[in-house]
Amino acid sequence: MLKHIYANLVQRPTRTLVSMIAISIGVVLILVSVGLSYGQLNDAAERTRRVGGDIMVQPPNASLFFALNSGTLNERIRKVVEEVDGVESVAPILAKFISDKFHLVFGIERESFEKVNSTLRFVDGQIFETPDEVIVDTMYASSGNLTVGDELELLSRKFKISGIFEQGTGARVLMSLDTLQEMNGTPDKVTMFFARVKEGASVDEVFERIQKRMPSYKITKTSELQEVMSSTAPGFRQFLSVMVFVAVVISFLIILLAMYTTITERTREIGILKSLGASKTYIIQLIIKESLLICAAGVMLGFVLTFVTIQLILVTFPTMPVYIPGLWRVAAASLATGGGVLGALYPAIKAAQLDPVRALGYE
Partner 1 sequence: MSKTIGMTQKRDIVVTENLQMIYTVGRVEVPALRGVDMTVKEGEFVAVMGPSGCGKSTLLHLLGGLLVPSAGRVCIEGVDLASVGDAARTELRRKKIGFVFQRYNLLPTLTAEGNIELARRIHGNGHGAKLDVRDILGLLGLERKLGHKPSEMSGGEQQRVALARAVINRPSILLADEPTGNLDSENSQMVLQMLQDLNRKYLQTIVMITHDPDAASMASRILEMRDGRILNRVKNLYYAIEPTRG
What part of residues 253-312 is at the interface with partner 1 (CB under 8 A)?
268-269, 271-280, 282
- Quick one: 4 or 212, whose CB is closer to partner 1? 4
Say how many residues touch partner 1, by CB under 8 A.
Answer: 23
- Quick one: 91 or 273, whose CB is closer to partner 1? 273
Q: List b or e across 13-40, with b for residues whose CB sees 16 or more CB atoms inside 10 angstroms.
A: eebbeebbbbbbbbbbbbbbbbbbbbbb
Binding of partner 1 by 110 (CB under 8 A): no
- Quick one: 186 or 291, whose CB is closer to partner 1? 291
Binding of partner 1 by 357 (CB under 8 A): yes
Question: Whole-angstrom Cα distance, residue 43 to residue 229?
Answer: 11
> Cβ 254 to partner 1, closest distance in Å?
21
Binding of partner 1 by 17 (CB under 8 A): no
Residues in contact with 144: Cβ distance below 8 Å, sequence separation at least 6, in sequence order:
136, 152
Question: Whole-angstrom Cα distance, residue 190 to residue 173?
Answer: 16
Binding of partner 1 by 327 (CB under 8 A): no
Residue 210 · residue 57 · CB < 8 Å: yes
Binding of partner 1 by 8 (CB under 8 A): yes
> Cβ 17 to partner 1, closest distance in Å?
16
Question: Whole-angstrom Cα distance, residue 287 to residue 259?
Answer: 7
> Cβ 264 to partner 1, closest distance in Å?
15
Interface segment toward partner 1; rule CB under 8 A; list 6-14, 39-47, 157-165, 312-320: 6-14
> Cβ 284 to partner 1, closest distance in Å?
13
- Quick one: 6 or 245, whose CB is closer to partner 1? 6
CB atoms within 10 A of CB 154: 18
In sequence order, the β-bridge partners of residue 105 are 96, 173
> Cβ 10 to partner 1, closest distance in Å?
8
Binding of partner 1 by 1 (CB under 8 A): yes
Task: Name the burial class of residue 346, with classes exposed (0-12), middle (13-18) and buried (19+) by CB atoms within 10 angstroms of its CB.
Answer: middle
Residues 203-222, mask of contacts with partner 1 (x by CB under 8 A)? --------------------
> Cβ 297 to partner 1, closest distance in Å?
17
| Cα separation values, 111 from 50, 128, 193, 235, Å | 17, 12, 14, 37
Residue 131 · residue 176 · CB < 8 Å: yes
Question: Whole-angstrom Cα distance, residue 5 to residue 123?
Answer: 58
Q: Give residue 357's region: left, alpha or beta (phi > 0; psi -120 to 50).
A: alpha
Binding of partner 1 by 329 (CB under 8 A): no
> Cβ 356 to partner 1, closest distance in Å?
5
Nearest in space to 58 (alpha carbons), one of 189, 210, 217:
217
Question: Whole-angstrom Cα distance, residue 160 to residue 114?
Answer: 21
- Quick one: 218 or 274, whose CB is closer to partner 1? 274
Question: Whole-angstrom Cα distance, residue 201 to residue 198?
Answer: 5
Interface segment toward partner 1; rule CB under 8 A; list 47-55, 87-95, 255-263, 355-363: 355-363
| Cα separation values, 332 from 203, 305, 306, 322, Å | 40, 13, 11, 16
> Cβ 361 to partner 1, closest distance in Å?
10
> Cβ 271 to partner 1, closest distance in Å?
8
Q: Which of 39, 125, 338, 356 binds partner 1 (CB under 8 A)?
A: 356
> Cβ 348 to partner 1, closest distance in Å?
16
The residues of the shown chain that bind partner 1, judged by CB under 8 A, are 1, 3-4, 7-8, 10-11, 268-269, 271-280, 282, 356-357, 360
